[in-house]
């Protein structure tokens, strides 16, 4: 079976994608390929970051690999926090602080439209491919739900009445940005196995 490395240290994400690729590709972790260093992601776009991580692994370790990067883009804030979503309220990368700051910055906003966007870059046999997943929705005025992570408690996807934090993992994956991007990646790999 062909091997493919997912350039992430997030074990939850790796397990999720591993299940989707079962039987087609053997998913390798960064540890499996002997990569123990922190992967840099200091570009100014989601695409730049996913490419930076995947290109690093391909160039240094010569294994087929992919990487992802996600951001929350709020219309009234000109697309912020976007690529800075994880450290919106500071380098401590606290979900609670990030949510508080976002709710504060939207206090007077009537337009609460937002979207999550995931960029995936794949290096397969030296060829570079890009995939994107988007989910549109809006930001609530208060926290609701305790599942998930990040901005889940304040994001309600379009055509739904509950936040991501009120949904099961399966329910969220079926409509989420990351789920959509990963399904595109899996579809591509099915046709290029």
150 touches ligand IMP (CB under 6 A): yes
Tokens representing residue 55 in the block: 């290109």
86 touches ligand IMP (CB under 6 A): yes
Alpha carbon distance 151, 156 (integer Å): 10
85 touches ligand IMP (CB under 6 A): yes
Half-sphere exposure of 106 (CA within 13 A, CB side): 26
Considering beta carbons, is residue 35 or 89 the nearer one to ligand IMP?
Answer: 89
Number of residues counted as binding ligand IMP (CB under 6 A) = 16
Q: How far is the CB of 135 from ligand IMP (least distance, A)?
A: 9
152 touches ligand IMP (CB under 6 A): yes
Q: Which residue is nearest to ligand IMP (CB)?
A: 150
140 touches ligand IMP (CB under 6 A): no
Considering beta carbons, is residue 21 or 72 the nearer one to ligand IMP?
Answer: 72
70 touches ligand IMP (CB under 6 A): yes
Phi and psi at residue 128, to the nearest 5°? -100, 135
Considering beta carbons, is residue 20 or 24 the nearer one to ligand IMP?
Answer: 20
The catalytic site residues sit at: 69
- Across 164-177, b (16+ Cβ under 10 Å) vs e yields bbbbeeeebbebbb
- Which positions lie near ligand IMP, rule CB under 6 A? 69-72, 85-86, 98, 116, 148-152, 164, 176, 178
């Amino acid at each position: 079976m062909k091997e493919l490395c997912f350039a992430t240290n997030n074990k939850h994400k790796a397990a999720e994608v591993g299940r989707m690729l079962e039987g087609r590709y053997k998913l390798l972790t960064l540890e499996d390929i002997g990569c123990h260093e922190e992967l840099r992601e200091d570009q100014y776009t989601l695409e730049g970051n996913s490419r930076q991580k995947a290109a690093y692994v391909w160039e240094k370790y010569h294994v087929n690999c992919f990487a992802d990067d996600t951001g929350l883009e709020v219309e009234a804030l000109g697309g912020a926090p976007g690529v800075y979503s994880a450290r919106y309220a500071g380098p401590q990368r606290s979900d609670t602080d990030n949510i508080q700051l976002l709710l504060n910055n939207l206090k007077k906003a009537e337009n609460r439209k937002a979207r999550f966007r995931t960029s995936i870059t794949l290096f397969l046999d030296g060829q570079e491919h890009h995939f994107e997943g988007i989910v549109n929705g809006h930001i609530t005025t208060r926290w609701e739900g305790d599942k998930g992570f990040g901005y889940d408690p304040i994001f309600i996807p379009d055509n739904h009445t509950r936040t991501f934090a009120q949904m099961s993992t399966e329910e969220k994956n079926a409509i989420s940005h990351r789920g959509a991007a990963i399904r595109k990646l899996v579809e591509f790999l099915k046709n290029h196995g």
